[in-house]
Structure 1
Amino acid sequence: MVFSGLLFLFLFLPAVFILYYCSPRRIRNLILFSTSLIFYAWGEPVYIVIMLVSTLADYFFGLLLDKPKLSNFKRKCIVAVSIVFSLTLLSYFKYADFLIQNINALFGLDIPLTELPLPIGISFYTFQSMSYIIDVYRGTARAQRNWIDFGAYVALFPQLVAGPIVKYNTIAEQLHNRSESIELFAEGIRRFTIGLAKKVLLANNIGLLWDSISSSHPGSLPMLTAWLGIIAFAFQIYFDFSGYSDMAIGLGLMFGFRFNENFNKPYTSQSITDFWRRWHISLGSWFREYVYIPLGGNRHGLLKQARNILIVWLLTGFWHGASWNFILWGLYFGIILMIEKWWGLKLLSALPRWVRHVYAIILILVGWVLFAFETPSLIVAYLSAMAGFNDQPLWNTETGYFFYTNAVLLFVLVIVSLPKKQWARTSELSLLHLVWYGFLFLLAVAYLVDATFNPFLYFRF
């Protein structure tokens, strides 16, 4: 079940709202926990066991950490066991086949693959439960003694599928003391509608262009077609993922939760450092707080700082998927970030704003090539097409057709990606605004009724 589905919009979500708001406040976390389990179990019911096991394990690990007079050594052992347990579950379902494939290739073996489907949201709820254990160990959060409340935090369906990753110390108070209101609910509807429109009307439609271009071998693509294709992919993944984040934040508001922002106009960046402050903010924040800083951050000289950055970006790439191209993608950005940190940003600051922006966009688009293709030969072929090294013309009639049929959509995508004033807040909503958001919602629903193309790129992560 996904947010941009008719079943979710017109059956599951209304039923949850009725149950939630008709129930006494003391059992609303139970309602959220149980309905989140139903949401999670809809596609693969057996995987609900994995979530429950992970939730129970970290709940009890948290209680152990909260015991008085526990030695620091024992506390460290508990944290280590908890993290190993969580990462073992994640690794088995997400990385086992990757490991087997590489062992087979390296040693000429024929070990059968597990071929297990990836449990929905496992990368997100694993990181959330790990943040809980680490926060309790550090003393920045108290151990949660109510298993239902803790389960509601881990399984919370508004942000289970694609984040934003919610650290426990930012939401602990809201689990017990949150206020629902008509104003907050209205703001949530507004934010959810914006996200739904971004996903369904923008990401899905530009995704069709990317599918058309990427279905051809890169060696046959004219240079401008290759650039148009990766630009289409860049827009698709941004509006797809940020649309889901908007919907998650909107749903959280409807239930009284305030999640942190996950995107901040990333394609307006003027450096890669700036880009990663704006893209998937919750993931970057998680790695910075729980990996980069504990490793020493930038406190022990350039060599250790370089080591720490490369470790973080190796893990960032691997978090996105069990494939070498994701590792390469992470290291690619890690190396660029190191260069910018040491001297690149000083050099960029002397350049005109538009030059800095072009620099960032080109490097981002090259990164998306690494992200989009799992096969090294296709990555090289596509980059060659973008550089004009594949003995193809600059453009052909198909290139013109792609530009002509998608010109308006591309213009809208650019405009929506640019900085602008915040869309009307709840206190400023007028009849015109209500009509506008109603129109967006109906248009998105009409598209869903008739569409067969409704992918979610981050669903597999």
Structure 2
Amino acid sequence: MWKLADLALIAASLILYGLFSVRFVWVLMVSCLINYGISRLIVDNFLKKAEIIHVIGIIFNILLLGFFKYSNFFVSNIFTVIGKEIPELKIIMPVGISFYVFSQIAFITDIKREKENKVKKNEKLGDVDFIEYLIYITYFPKIVQGPIALPYEIIGQIRDTEKRALKAENFRRGIELFVIGLSKKVLLGDNLAKIADYGFKYTYYMDTLTGALVLISYAFQLYFDFSGYCDMAEGVSLMLGIELPQNFNSPYKAFSVRNLWQRWHMTLTRFFVRYVYIPLGGSRKGKLRTATNVLIIFILSGFWHGAGWTYICWGLVMGILVVWDDLGIMAVEGDIKKSYLLREKPLVVIPRMLGQILTFMMFLVSLIFFRSQDMTYALQYFKQLVIPTWPGFMYKTSAMLDISENYLLITAANMYAKQYTSILYLITWIILLVISVLVIRAKNAHEIVDEKRNSVGHVIFMVIIFIWSFISLSQVSTFIYFQF
């Protein structure tokens, strides 16, 4: 019975994934066949050969990801160096390839570690059949945008028939997570996206205050877009009886950049620590090597997010800030480690709230690299922020918020007091930002769902925000992390 359910789950996952493009399904299935074959070869061969097969598997996955995601980047940069131009290669990147390639790397690496007896009993994967492997890779709530689950986290649950049984509590938690995630994405993230897209498109026209507000709007858009997806994916998965690893835990409440990366895209950070940082030596080979390893994983993280120098710079900035945290020059109350890279005790200890503000500001500034079209636009954005200007671009930017919620007010203003229309758009923008701050500072989706509030008021609130979100789905809206 469960095998039929597994096959139905694989079929549903492939059909949903195929809605993006049937060609993407072929790439996915070929990569699954090759990686599963590699895992079988590792299991069936002696240790020395298993190591070689594992390296071949890693190279295959890196080349697969590199071909679809980085070919244009490398080719264009090579031709730029030799002084020639080349038209952009027409290579369409399959949706979610970064996520499922990393999952496959995790699988064959854990199989190899099992061969070396370096995994725990409950993490063993040597007897995984192809159906279980396909569910792990193609499972539709996570394939296009994560989380990057470890193999035993999914496969262990697939095998636990009691855990997978339909339960009312899982449905309650799943529905609430889904509704909260949908509302964050549609009501906040998508509306703020209109501001961010317009602002970063017209960077050269931006004045200082508008540039700062656009940057904050983008930071909030990114937050609600990604956390909204994570909540929705976890919610759908819970209804199916499978619990995905938490991928997002109120990162804008972080008190240091290191703490932020323990809260933002948690499974990506875990992947780089488990499969890159620790094999490079982690913190076991001296302070300089530790700092170097941190920089390496953050540069790789930046490059994973996108094939461009802006992403590499963003990763480098994040890495430098994490190393700064590790130096021990400044620390936050309640987060004083036993030792740092340079000092046994921090030189300066600041209040936790100040740490949260400084962390958000540093992350905010780094997003200029993350969102800008190229390095020229990024540097121009910095210039606009540093050199004070006031050409009045704020009203043009706020006019992008022509949303259904303010339709009646804007219509009335256009009819009877047109001079106030721009001010109403600006007020809408400010209200959105204030609401965003309140939502971010409040309890997150997991904390709300775990409270098990069954009051009539709570149920009515959930119904209202679901209907509101559903009505607001007036156009096709994609998630930011689809492009990664």
Which residue of 1 is the match for residue 16 of structure 2?
Answer: 39
* d(CA) in 2 for partners of 1:144, 1:50: 25
Deviations, residues 378-410 of structure 1 (Å, cap 9, x unaligned): 1111112222x1644698666884642222221
Which residue of 2 is the match for residue 162 of structure 1?
Answer: 145
Native 8 Å contact 2:43 2:111 kept in 1: yes
Native 8 Å contact 1:186 1:426 kept in 2: no
Aligned match of 1:343 in 323, 328, 339?
A: 328
Q: 1:64 to 1:396 in 2, by over 3 A?
A: closer
> Which range is displaced more, 423-432 or 121-130?
423-432
* d(CA) in 1 for partners of 2:247, 2:388: 38
Aligned-residue offset at 1:212: 3.2
Q: 1:339 to 1:452 in 2, by over 3 A?
A: same
Pair 1:62 & 2:55 matched: no
- The percent identity for this pair of structures is 34
Pair 1:213 & 2:199 matched: yes
Aligned-residue offset at 1:343: 2.3
Structure 1 residues 221-300: aligned runs within 5 Å: 221-300=206-285
* d(CA) in 2 for partners of 1:32, 1:116: 30
Pair 1:413 & 2:436 matched: yes
Aligned-residue offset at 1:335: 1.0
> Which range is displaced more, 351-360 or 96-105?
351-360
Answer 1 or 2: higher relative contact order, Cα 8 Å, separation at least 6. Answer: 1
Structure 1 residues 37-186: aligned runs within 5 Å: 37-67=14-44, 70-139=45-114, 140=119, 141-177=124-160, 178-179=163-164, 180-186=166-172
> Which range is displaced more, 158-167 or 107-116?
107-116
- Aligned partner letter, 2:267: S
Native 8 Å contact 2:173 2:449 kept in 1: no
Aligned-residue offset at 1:26: 2.8
Q: 1:253 to 1:222 in 2, by over 3 A?
A: same
- Counterpart secondary structure, 1:142: coil
Which residue of 1 is the match for residue 475 of structure 2?
Answer: 452
- Counterpart secondary structure, 1:277: coil
- Aligned partner letter, 1:61: I
- Counterpart secondary structure, 1:299: coil
- Matched residues, number: 432
Native 8 Å contact 2:100 2:137 kept in 1: yes
Deviations, residues 145-194 of structure 1 (Å, cap 9, x unaligned): 42111111100001111111111022221121132312212211111111
Native 8 Å contact 1:127 1:165 kept in 2: yes
Native 8 Å contact 1:59 1:144 kept in 2: no
Structure 1 residues 376-387: aligned runs within 5 Å: 376-387=375-386
Aligned match of 2:462 in 422, 431, 437?
A: 437
Deviations, residues 178-221 of structure 1 (Å, cap 9, x unaligned): 32312212211111111111111110011122233223233x32
Which residue of 1 is the match for residue 3 of structure 2?
Answer: 26
Mind listing any 5+ residue stretches in structure 2 that lack a counterpart? Answer: 332-345, 399-421
Native 8 Å contact 2:308 2:374 kept in 1: no
* d(CA) in 1 for partners of 2:455, 2:51: 55
- Aligned partner letter, 1:191: L
- Counterpart secondary structure, 2:278: helix
Q: 1:349 to 1:417 in 2, by over 3 A?
A: farther
Q: 1:434 to 1:341 in 2, by over 3 A?
A: same
Native 8 Å contact 2:209 2:390 kept in 1: no
Deviations, residues 94-143 of structure 1 (Å, cap 9, x unaligned): 00111111111111234453221210110000011111111111113222
Native 8 Å contact 1:33 1:151 kept in 2: yes
Native 8 Å contact 2:57 2:108 kept in 1: yes
Aligned-residue offset at 1:87: 1.1
- Counterpart secondary structure, 1:165: coil
Pair 1:311 & 2:296 matched: yes
Normalising by structure 2, what TM-score?
0.85
* d(CA) in 2 for partners of 1:436, 1:368: 33
* d(CA) in 1 for partners of 2:126, 2:34: 13
- Counterpart secondary structure, 2:350: coil
Which residue of 2 is the match for residue 367 of structure 1?
Answer: 366
> Which range is displaced more, 361-370 or 433-442?
433-442
Deviations, residues 56-90 of structure 1 (Å, cap 9, x unaligned): 111111112222xx332211111111111111111
Deviations, residues 390-433 of structure 1 (Å, cap 9, x unaligned): 64469866688464222222121111111437214485323332
- Counterpart secondary structure, 1:120: coil
- Aligned partner letter, 1:383: F
- Counterpart secondary structure, 1:350: strand
Aligned match of 1:194 in 171, 175, 180?
A: 180
Deviations, residues 213-262 of structure 1 (Å, cap 9, x unaligned): 223233x3221111100000000011001100111111110111111111
Superposed CA RMSD: 2.0
Mind listing any 5+ residue stretches in structure 1 that lack a counterpart? Answer: 1-23
- Counterpart secondary structure, 1:184: helix
Q: 1:382 to 1:411 in 2, by over 3 A?
A: same
